Amino acid sequence: MRVLLIEDDEPLGEGVKAGLAQYGHAVDWLKDGTSALKFLKSEKFDIIILDWNLPRISGLAVLQEMRANNISTPVLLLTARDSIEDRVKGLDSGADDYLTKPFDLDELTARIRALQRRSMNNRAAPIINYREVKLDPASMTVTVKDEFVNLSRREISLLQKLLENIGNVVSRDVLTQCLYGWGDDIDSNTLEVHVHNLRKKLGINFIRTIRGVGYMVEKEDR
């Protein structure tokens, strides 16, 4: 999943970015609201983690301008403000969830997964099931016919993105952005290698190549 982190606190930002990467998320990190609004005009993300107290323009102002510009990406608001009034203000300004500092990384990732479930085809169940495959985003595990399959975190992220869009073609650009951040080195055939590895490890060839576009998982026959 592609995550935009907007946080000016260097130690916190580094910790969150490194922590989310361990869960297979591609995290892009910006440190002020002005830069965030600029990039959001041309870049798309699955989740935005937004600090309330930012330099130049506040996180709340960023959030309000995003919603005014019809940017509907789920937003998790981070802040040291913990009063009821502040929470209400943040949620009424367009935040989808609210987390007060200091926070635990496990809680942050759980809230991200909940936001992701709500935004992806209104999926309520925490486990993703498709044919014999089960993917648990919380534990980062995949089983086929109840047998554990050893996948890398990027292979799991790729599989999850495809399974969350069953019946729809997911473009190469979207899949690549889901796996890699702005500063990562990416070979031209990296995505093909990940798809090949998934097909081989799962032993089930349900990932279709749509030449010149991307990949898709077809809906199951009923």
Domains in the chain and their CATH numbers?
2-119 (3.40.50.2300), 128-217 (1.10.10.10)
Tokens of 183: 């500063």
**Residue 163, CA distances (Å) to 22, 117, 153, 157 in order:** 20, 12, 15, 10
Predicted pLDDT of residue 222:
53
3-state DSSP assignment of residue 140: coil
Whether 74 contacts 47, CB under 8 Å: yes
Q: What pLDDT was estimated at residue 181?
A: 73
What pLDDT is recorded for position 185?
63
Q: How far apart are CA 205 and CA 91, in angstroms?
A: 43
Query: What's the pLDDT at 109?
Result: 92
Vertex 118 angle, CA 160 and 82, to 5° = 115
Residue 176, CB half-sphere, CA atoms under 13 Å: how many? 17
What is the pLDDT, as a whole number, of residue 81? Answer: 82
What's the number of CA atoms in the CB half-sphere (13 Å) around residue 208? 12
Q: What is the pLDDT of residue 55?
A: 84
Cis peptide before 102 (omega within 30 of 0): yes
Tens digit of each residue's pLDDT, the chain (222 residues): 889 999 999 999 999 999 998 888 889 999 999 999 988 888 889 899 999 989 889 999 999 999 998 888 999 999 888 788 888 888 888 899 999 988 999 999 999 988 887 776 555 567 888 988 999 988 889 999 999 999 998 899 999 999 988 889 999 888 988 887 766 666 667 889 999 999 999 987 889 999 989 999 988 765
3-class DSSP assignment, residue 11 = helix
The token duo for 220 is: 């199951």
Distance CA 123, CA 117 (A): 5
Contact at 8 Å (CB) between 199 and 158? no
Closest residue by Cα to residue 78 from 67, 65, 58, 70: 58
Euclidean distance between the first and the last CA atom of the chain, given in angstroms as a whole number: 29
pLDDT at 125: 63
Query: Could you tell me the pTM of the whole model?
Result: 0.71
Q: Are 49 and 43 in contact (CB under 8 A)?
A: no
- Bin 70: left if φ > 0, else alpha if -120 < ψ < 50, else beta: left
